[in-house]
Structure 1
Amino acid sequence: MSEALLAVEAAATDTTVPAASGARQFWRRLRTQRAALVAAGVVALLVLVALAAPLLTALEGQDPTTYHPSLVDSARGGVPIGSLGGASADHWFGVEPQTGRDLFARLVHGARVSLGVALAATVVQVAIGTTVGVAAALGKRWVDQLLSRFTDVMVAMPLMIMSLALLAIVPPSFPRPVLVALVVGLIGWGNIARIVRAQTLTLKELDHVAAARLSGWGTWSIARRELLPGVAAPIITYAALLVPTNITVEAALSFLGVGVKPPTPSWGQMLTAADVWYQAAPQYLLLPAGALFITVLALTVLGDGVRTALDPRAASRLRIGTGRRRESKADAGGTA
């Protein structure tokens, strides 16, 4: 993540203002990256599964909260009866040890929680970080100093430790997925504020911003019409890299017992008890861990592809490298 942050901060110093055809250029560059396209397809499939979770579980005929005590062997401590953890036509991935809850239903509903919490936390981080970054860059010197020092404090603050502390003192009656999204979002916006501030300081010195200021536009009108379009690229890039990080944080918090609470399913929560049952029912560990790994990997690859597609200098380096390879092949062919 540190290398990605350095790449995004470097891109933030680019003074190029996106043209009207920026979307077409972005898509053209993204299409050249097969790994990013595959990752985008995987992410789209995961989002579709999360949105269609009630339909999929209805098709199976199960739900994520119903207990099936007849499908576990109480004499052996609650081990699922049958091979592959009790997998059958009625329970596609088997059942959960002790409770007998359907694993497929809990897995697809857990995708809704994990992806939903990560996306909501990312939206909160982007909203706060963008507001603070623009305000610091456009405000007076003391405002800039105050907001910058506050941002430094937030960046230095350990996210997991603060999240654990805040989640532990909030009453259990508060909806846990909403609470996790808010806590992660309210703590983790510091880096995006730095990126937005650096880009805004560069853009506000350009001629079109000076012309808007001389025309009598207000500060926030200039920010909304002239500056925010210019900082959109680094914001989108870093937001794409924040989502997998937030998924990992949510899973870790649920694994530690302060995140999403039962009976609401979550991948991190499913991993909490998996270490006790992985020998008797290995899919109880492998399914949520595999889903988490694939999701984080796909989002990371997609985020890196978005960063490359939005950074013209990266695309230029790619073209230069391709041209050199072609020249070297042509020289080799001519020599032969």
Structure 2
Amino acid sequence: MSEALVAAEAAVTGVEPVPAASGARQFWRRLRTQRAALVAAAVVALLLLVAVAAPLLTALEGQDPNSYHPALIDSARGGVPIGPFGGVSADHWLGVEPQTGRDLFARLVHGARVSLGVALAATVVQVAIGVTVGVASALGSRWVDQLLSRVTDIIVAMPLMIMALALLAIVPSSFPRPVLVALVIGLIAWGNIARIVRAQTLTLKGLDHVAAARLSGWGPVRVARRELLPGLAAPVITYAALLVPMNITVEAALSFLGVGVKPPTPSWGQMLTAADVWYQAAPQYLLLPAGALFVTVLALTVLGDGVRTALDPRAASRLRVGTGRGRGKKGQASATAPVPPAVTPTGADKSAPTEQHPTGGTAS
């Protein structure tokens, strides 16, 4: 409603209009009602802080992720770290690796940087390609739509892990491996988001303001940028939030299989590979990267589900109903609840009751 219409309505009714909450305000308000999502958001923020500040944290510990410490390894026992709990000490907060003596804390936080960076970069590539293909398919001509739809079907039908294994195996090792892994994941896993964007764009294309923009002579790029992208933000953000944990898992699996991030660059999947033969002698060597992966994927998944609920008004209304917001306490009737009328039995005299004498007779 325009400002002139709002002012005219206020002059007629005498009631000042209440400004509607912005989309961002509504999003944060709905997200704050979900405690699990807030806890997950705090965990994700902490993980991102650790990943960004990894060089500072390792400098504070005084260690480097790729420095060897052979003096901390018991060669007589097959390379097991010297000391309790895998060599935990004031200099090595989480112990050291078997055989190499590299600091586990330094490799864990630098591995977080690599794993999260690869997952986020792959998500950006997937969103960029998926949104472009989806919008172009919905706004293009019939043959463009059919061509892009068939390409999208092929991408969706591709087995992600098999294609990634094949592509990563044939690329020369001189190519930066984290960048390559992010590109491979992004280039072969954008099909689902393209389908979502195409369906949403077809819905938005029929709205009056989009039709008016097209009739006024705007080109497809301007229509998409000015009229469609704001309406596509919610589904794109929702799906992107769910893509990040999936990409972290894929990167860890590829590194575990030996075709992802290569040594000496630390990665959680690579740490799992190296710990495969040491989990009995030094269990923390396996539990640390596995626990980090579990917590990260769980937090990102819960946060993504919370973002989906906060961006979907129907899901948010169901959440309010399910939590009982706006209702009184259990077992207490509302003070303003209407009193049900008395029901008169069928056939009874509906006239005013006759005054009775205390002895049972009718008063004269």
* Same fold per superposition (TM over 0.5): yes
Matches of 1:71 and 1:323 in 2, distance apart? 58
- 1:134 deviation in Å? 0.3
Secondary structure, aligned partner of 1:200: helix
Which residue of the partner structure matches residue 152 of structure 2?
A: 151
**C-alpha distance in structure 1 between counterparts of 2:71 and 2:202, whole Å:** 65
Q: Which moved more, 1:46-55 or 1:212-221?
A: 212-221
The amino acid that maps onto 1:43 is: V
Q: Which residue of 1 aligns with 2:120?
A: 119
**Larger CA Rg, structure 1 vs 2:** 2
Instruction: Name the aligned partner's letter for residue 141 of structure 2.
Output: K
On the 8 A contact 2:108/2:268 being kept in 1, the answer is yes
For 1:326, the aligned partner's letter is: R
**Paired letter, 1:77:** G
Q: CA deviation at 1:218?
A: 1.0
Displacement after TM superposition at 1:324 (Å): 8.5
State whether structure 2 residue 186 is matched by structure 1 residue 220: no
List aligned pairs for 1:136-175, cutoff 5 A: 136-175=137-176
1:134 aligns with 2:135: yes
1:191 equivalenced with 2:186 (yes/no): no
CA deviation map 1:189-234 (0-9, x unaligned)? 0000000000000000000001111221111100110001101100
Task: Measure how far apart 1:322 and its partner are.
Answer: 4.2
Matched letter for residue 48 of structure 2: V
How far did 1:185 drift?
Answer: 0.3
Per the alignment, residue 338 of structure 2 pairs with none
Q: Which amino acid in the other structure matches residue 206 of structure 2?
A: E
- Higher alpha-carbon deviation: 30-39 or 316-325: 316-325
Alpha-carbon shift at residue 262 of structure 1 (Å):
0.4
Distance 1:140 1:233 in 2: 26
Q: Which residue of 1 aligns with 2:11?
A: none
CA distance in 1, matches of 2:332, 2:194: 49
2:73 is equivalent to residue 72 of structure 1: yes
The equivalent residue for 2:178 is: 177
In structure 2, stretches of 5+ residues that fail to align are: 1-19, 336-364
Count, aligned residues: 316
Give the distance between the partners of 2:88 and 2:325, measured in 1 at CA.
55
Q: Which position in structure 1 is the counterpart of 2:259? A: 258
Deviation at 1:49, TM superposition (A): 0.3
The amino acid of 2:111's aligned partner reads G
Match of 2:344 in 1: none
- Amino acid aligned to 1:116: G
Once the two structures are superposed, residues 220-249 of structure 1 have per-residue CA deviations (whole angstroms, 9 ceiling, x without a partner) of: 100110001101100000000000000000
Quote the Cα distance in structure 2 between the aligned partners of 1:152 and 1:146. 10
Alpha-carbon distance change, 240 to 105 in structure 1, aligned in 2, over 3 angstroms: same
Q: Superposed, which structure 2 residues align to 1:251-330 within 5 Å?
A: 251-323=252-324, 326=327, 329=330
Which SS does the other structure have where 2:258 is aligned? coil
In 2, Cα distance between the equivalents of 1:319 and 1:100? 53
Query: Which deviations, in whole Å up to 9, do the C-alpha atoms of 1:48-70 show, x marking residues without a partner?
Result: 00000000000000000000011
Q: CA RMSD in A?
A: 1.6
Q: Distance in 1 between matches of 2:86 and 2:59?
A: 21
Q: What code does the residue aligned with 2:252 have?
A: A
Matches of 1:289 and 1:320, distance apart in 2? 38
Instruction: Flag the structure with more relative contact order, 1 or 2, with Cα contacts below 8 A and sequence separation at least 6.
Output: 1
Give the Cα separation in 2 of the matches to 1:162 and 1:53.
Answer: 32
Instruction: Kindly report which structure 2 residues correspond to 1:94-113, keeping only aligned pairs within 5 A, or say none.
Output: 94-113=95-114
TM-score (norm 1): 0.91
Aligned counterpart, 1:50: 51
Contact between 2:328 and 2:334, CA under 8 Å: does it hold in 1? no
Cα displacement (A) at 1:314: 0.6
Equivalents in 2 of 1:43, 1:320: separation in Å? 28
Q: Relative to 1, partners in 2 of residues 1:20 and 1:222: Cα closer, same or farther, differing over 3 Å?
A: farther
What is the identity percentage for the equivalent residue pairs of Structure 1 and Structure 2?
A: 88
Structure 1, unpaired ranges of 5+: 1-18
CA contact (8 A) 2:111 2:267 kept: yes
Measured after TM superposition, the shift of residue 326 of structure 1 is 2.8
TM superposition shift of 1:277 = 0.4
- Distance, in Å, in 1 between the alignment partners of 2:285 and 2:291 is 10
Q: C-alpha offsets along residues 122-170 of structure 1, whole Å, 9 cap, x if unaligned?
A: 0000000000000000011111011111101101100000000000010
Equivalent residue for 2:342?
A: none
1:20 to partner: Cα distance: 7.5
The alpha-carbon distance between structure 1 residues 88 and 153, as it changes in their structure 2 partners (threshold 3 A), is same
**2:203 counterpart SS class:** helix
- Residues 235-284 of structure 1: CA deviation (Å, up to 9, x unaligned): 00000000000000000000000000000000000000212101111110
Residue 320 of structure 1 and its aligned partner are, at CA, apart by: 3.3
